[in-house]
A and B are shown apart, each in its own frame.
Chain A
Amino acid sequence: MNALRVFVVMVGMLALVSLASAKEAVPLADDPELEKQVNEITAELRCLVCQNQTIADSHADLAIDLKNQVREMVKSGKTQKEINDYMVQRYGDFVLYRPAMKPSTMLLWAGPFILLVIGLTVLVINLRKRRALVKDEGDLSTDEQQRLKTLLAEQRAEEEKS
Chain B
Amino acid sequence: MLRYIVPLVVFLGVAGFLLKGLDLNPREVPSPFIDKPAPDFTLQKLLTPEVQFSNKDMLGKVWLLNVFASWCVACRSEHPLLVQLSRANLVPIYGLNYKDAPSDAKNWLQQLGNPYTASLIDYDGKVGIDYGVYGVPETFVIDKQGVIRHKVIGPVTPAALDNCVLPLVKKLQEAAPQQVIKRTEVEGCV
Taking a contact as CB atoms closer than 8 A, the residue among A69, A88, A91 that contacts B134 in the complex is A91
Q: Are B32 and A88 in touch, CB under 8 angstroms?
A: yes
Q: Are B32 and A66 in touch, CB under 8 angstroms?
A: no
Q: Are B26 and A90 in touch, CB under 8 angstroms?
A: no
Min distance, Cβ A61 to any Cβ of chain B, angstroms: 7
Interface check A48, CB cutoff 8 A: yes
Interface check A121, CB cutoff 8 A: no
Q: Are A89 and B134 in touch, CB under 8 angstroms?
A: no
Query: Chain B residue with minimal CB distance to A89?
Result: B32
Min distance, Cβ A92 to any Cβ of chain B, angstroms: 4
Name the interface size band of chain B.
Answer: 10 to 19
Taking a contact as CB atoms closer than 8 A, the residue among A49, A65, A69, A94 that contacts B135 in the complex is A49
Interface check A79, CB cutoff 8 A: no
Count A interface residues, CB 8 Å. Answer: 14
Query: Chain B residue with minimal CB distance to A66?
Result: B129
Kindly identify, within residues 61 to 117 of chain A, every residue whose CB is under 8 Å from any CB belonging to chain B: 61-62, 65-66, 69, 88-92, 94
In whole angstroms, how far apart are the Cα atoms of A112 and B19 in the complex? 22
Min distance, Cβ A14 to any Cβ of chain B, angstroms: 37
Query: Chain B residue with minimal CB distance to A122?
Result: B6
Contact digits for B114-134, partner A, Cβ 8 Å, 1 yes 0 no: 000000000011000111101
In whole angstroms, how far apart are the Cα atoms of A66 and B129 in the complex? 8
List residues of chain A with CB within 8 A of the CB of B99.
61
Query: Chain B residue with minimal CB distance to A62?
Result: B134
In whole angstroms, how far apart are the Cα atoms of A123 and B129 in the complex? 51
Query: Chain A residue with minimal CB distance to B31?
Result: A92
Interface check B7, CB cutoff 8 A: no
Ordered nearest first, which 8 A-B pairs have the shortest CB separation? Answer: A48-B134, A90-B132, A92-B32, A94-B29, A91-B132, A65-B125, A62-B134, A92-B30
New A-B contacts (11) at CB < 8 Å, excluding given A48-B134, A88-B32, A90-B33? A49-B134, A61-B99, A62-B125, A65-B125, A65-B129, A89-B32, A90-B32, A90-B132, A91-B29, A91-B132, A92-B29
